[in-house]
Each structure stands twice: as C-alpha cells, then as structure tokens.
Amino acid sequence: MTATVQFEVFGEEKIHCAGCESRIATALGRLPGVEEVQASAETQRVNVAIDTARVSEDEIRARLEKLGYQVRRR
C-alpha cells in the first residue's frame, strides 16, 4: 500500500537550501520502499511517498534524525 507521510522540521537545524533538499532526497531515496521525496527549504517540510509494506514512518523519521533534523509528523 502506498501512503504519503509529511514531516515538519523544527529545532536548531533547518533545511537551508537546494543542497539540503537534495541531501534529504538522496538519503531517503536509498531506503527500500521510498517512492518519492519532496523536501522544501521554504516550508521546512518533507513529503515522502512510501510503500508501507517495505518501509515504516519510524524508519523515515530515524533517517531524518540521523541527518541532524528534528522532525514531527504533520
């Protein structure tokens, strides 16, 4: 089943530029089951289309936190 999860970045570390957006998309895109990633420096949001049978929301959150971002589900 495909689902879209949306996270909001908060805290000290922000998405600053297109390079940050690309870094997030690349890191999340390497996870099996991630179908599409849209990260926005303007809105501080990350939208991820996932195959819920292959990857969980918690795995996405863990990868974002490993990159240094504090996130919460929107």
Does the domain spanning 2-73 belong to CATH 2.60.120.260? no
The mean per-residue pLDDT over the stretch 10-19 comes to 96
What does the pLDDT read at residue 73?
A: 96
Side chain identity at residue 26, one-letter code: T
> Rounded to two decimals, what is the model's pTM?
0.94
pLDDT in tens, 46-64: 999 999 999 999 999 999 9
Average pLDDT, the chain: 97
What does the pLDDT read at residue 55?
A: 98
Assign residue 33 a region: left if phi > 0, alpha if psi is -120 to 50, beta otherwise? left
Query: Comparing C-alpha atoms, which of 16, 62, 57 is closest to residue 39?
Result: 16
Q: Distance between CA atoms of 27 and 23, rounded to whole angstroms?
A: 6
What does the pLDDT read at residue 8?
A: 98
